[in-house]
């Protein structure tokens, strides 16, 4: 080839830009994901281990929740960050199965690593995986069992079993019976149409045992900052009227906010009198409503606190937005932004209001609420990190119960569903020809990672138990999975190890999407930090032409 006919290399990226591409890049991305998976692999299942993480500020977190660990790992590898995203999406959408989804995605990549090294096109693998995912999700829906929700007792039993399964791998599994009832009661107290989990408040109180935790059918929040006169206020009421405000009840000196010019002492006194008159008008308007409990998102100063104390009224200022919203949901009424024209329908009520000592904290507790669409879990325990993990565990169980109410399809856990789908896909792969047979077979093998890891974490012989499971599923026992208690296999549906089918379908869809996304990336372009202070933003990778064979600029010779 003559020199004039050679394709010139055009450099479009600034010096120092890191660019890697091709098969090596794909393998590197798969290896990075495998390293992340190995980090959280041991947290799966009832015998999973916990991870202790310390951030740069020295804050310690102990958890075996997949989404929490992935969030705290602070992963910098761009491809491996995809696994963090799917763990978060699983946590937001379903609430449980966060470790499983990361494990599945990692295993799907690991199974096809050999094919990539041998030169199989990633698009062939992606096509096969997407087809296998469709088949797997349809199979889960096909085998899922619909639970009759007309019988209230049976339906509650279903919710309890789903919550107990979600807690089996958590720190609270030793007290799962106690917390299962608490979680189901909490979700059932919500509005059954919206099932907004934010209306379940969780408050941590260090000290005491786990069994000292309690469910308040209403609202409880820590005593807010209080001014002089607070101790003279009554701390308990029966059937009080409750007024919720977004009004500041403090004596404001206007000279702090505005410039006032006066020529006589009498004029200054008139301004001072007006300031006092304004706040007393507000306080008199509140007292005239008949409210016995006054709450405000903004501060309630010492003058107002003493004024209310003299009239046997309880007040609390600086109530957080979440707590105020839940109070309004529970007692009725609405938040008022002015003290004038407050009518009876703007007030709420409840059976009892108490300020009570719980551990080392004082709590304001509203019980017997007329509009009880919210509740509060008060969690007790030894260390702060322990209570935080209990809170995360109960959050997972609450999300699972919500999903079970919305979608009353359940499947067996303990690896039973994965083994059944694996058998189905393996049989299907034998009916087709070409490369897709190998890819769908790889997907089937990848699904076995869940029961295998359950065995490994419990210290069982994984090979022996997987052989038993393959045999039992081949004989038509579709719900057989790992029995953690007796180191064997069992019918997990009969053993009530139940999970909502949505956990499985969402995990499969998210894992396959993540695997396909990572397989579709064959080049990483990393811009260096600009040394020039006035340099413009780096050119985005999406707006860059490939240097070799990436289109023809003006003046470029044809090939």
Which residue numbers are catalytic? 65, 98-99, 396
Give Cα 376 to chain centroid, integer Å: 18
Tell me if 294 sits within 8 A of 243, measured CB to CB.
yes
The span from the CA of 248 to the CA of 402, in Å, is 38
The span from the CA of 457 to the CA of 440, in Å, is 27
Task: Identify the three-state secondary structure at position 498.
Answer: strand
Closest residue by Cα to residue 345 from 313, 370, 320: 370
| CB-neighbour burial class of residue 280 (10 A; exposed 0-12, middle 13-18, buried 19+) | middle
The span from the CA of 364 to the CA of 350, in Å, is 13
CB under 8 Å to 531, separation ≥6 — which residues? none
Task: Identify the three-state secondary structure at position 204.
Answer: strand
Radius of gyration of the chain, Cα coordinates, nearest whole angstrom = 31
Which own/partner contact pairs does 182-186 have at CB distance under 8 Å and 24+ positions apart? 182/213, 182/215, 182/377, 182/394, 183/394, 183/397, 183/398, 183/401, 184/156, 184/159, 184/160, 184/401, 185/215, 185/217, 185/375, 186/215, 186/375, 186/377, 186/398
CB under 8 Å to 239, separation ≥6 — which residues? 349, 350, 351, 352
Tell me if 410 sits within 8 A of 158, measured CB to CB.
yes
Go through 337-372 and write b for each residue having 16 or more CB atoms within 10 A of its CB, e for each that does not.
eebeebeeebbbbbeebebeebeeeebbbbbbbebb
Element (H, E) at 428: helix 416-429
The span from the CA of 58 to the CA of 218, in Å, is 36
């Amino acid at each position: 080839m003559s020199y004039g006919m050679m394709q010139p290399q055009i450099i479009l990226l600034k010096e120092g830009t890191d660019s890697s591409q091709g098969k090596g890049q794909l393998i590197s991305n798969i290896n990075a994901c495998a390293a992340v998976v190995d980090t959280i692999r041991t947290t799966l299942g009832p015998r999973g281990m916990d991870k202790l993480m310390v951030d740069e500020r020295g804050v310690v977190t102990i958890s075996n929740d997949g989404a929490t660990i992935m969030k705290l790992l602070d992963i910098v590898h761009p491809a491996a960050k995809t696994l963090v995203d799917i763990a978060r999406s699983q946590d937001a959408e379903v609430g449980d199965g966060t470790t499983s989804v990361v494990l599945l995605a990692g295993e799907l990549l690991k199974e096809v690593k050999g094919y990539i090294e041998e030169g199989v096109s990633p698009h062939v693998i992606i096509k096969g995986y997407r087809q296998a995912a469709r088949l797997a999700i349809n199979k889960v829906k096909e085998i899922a069992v619909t639970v009759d929700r007309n019988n209230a007792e049976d339906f509650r039993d279903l919710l309890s079993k789903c919550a107990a399964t979600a807690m089996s791998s958590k720190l609270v599994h030793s007290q799962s019976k106690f917390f299962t009832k608490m979680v189901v009661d909490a979700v059932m107290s919500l509005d059954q149409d919206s099932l907004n989990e934010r209306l379940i408040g969780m408050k941590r109180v260090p000290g005491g045992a786990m069994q000292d935790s309690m469910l308040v059918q209403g609202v409880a929040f820590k005593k807010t900052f209080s001014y002089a006169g607070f101790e003279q206020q009554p701390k308990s009421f029966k059937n009080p009227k409750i007024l919720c405000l977004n009004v500041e009840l403090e004596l404001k000196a206007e000279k702090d906010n505005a410039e006032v010019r006066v020529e006589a002492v009498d004029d200054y006194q008139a301004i001072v009198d007006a300031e006092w008159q304004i706040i007393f008008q507000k306080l008199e308007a509140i007292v005239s409503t008949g409210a016995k409990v006054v709450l405000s998102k903004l501060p309630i100063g010492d003058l107002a606190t003493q004024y209310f104390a003299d009239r046997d009224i309880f007040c609390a200022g600086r109530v957080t937005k979440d707590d105020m919203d839940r109070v309004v949901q529970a007692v009725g009424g609405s938040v008022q932004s002015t003290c004038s024209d407050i009518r009876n329908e703007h007030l709420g009520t409840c059976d009892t209001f108490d300020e009570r000592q719980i551990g080392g904290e004082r709590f304001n507790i509203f019980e017997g609420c007329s509009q009880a669409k919210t509740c509060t879990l008060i969690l007790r325990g030894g260390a702060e990190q322990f209570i935080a993990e209990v809170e995360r565990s109960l959050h997972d169980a609450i999300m699972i119960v919500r999903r079970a109410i919305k979608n009353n399809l359940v499947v067996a856990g303990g690896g039973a569903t994965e083994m059944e789908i694996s058998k189905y896909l393996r049989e299907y792969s034998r009916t087709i020809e070409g490369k897709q047979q190998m890819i769908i077979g790889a997907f089937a093998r990848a699904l076995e990672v869940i029961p295998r890891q359950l065995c490994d974490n419990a210290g069982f012989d994984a090979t022996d138990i997987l052989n038993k499971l393959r045999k039992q599923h081949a004989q038509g026992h579709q719900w057989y999975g790992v029995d953690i208690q007796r180191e064997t296999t069992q019918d997990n549906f009969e053993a009530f190890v139940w999970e909502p089918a949505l956990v499985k379908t969402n995990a499969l869809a998210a894992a396959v999407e993540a695997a396909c996304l990572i397989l579709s990336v064959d080049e990483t372009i990393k811009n260096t930090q600009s040394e020039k202070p006035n340099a413009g933003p780096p050119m985005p990778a999406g707006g860059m032409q490939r240097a070799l064979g990436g289109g023809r600029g003006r003046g470029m010779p044809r090939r």
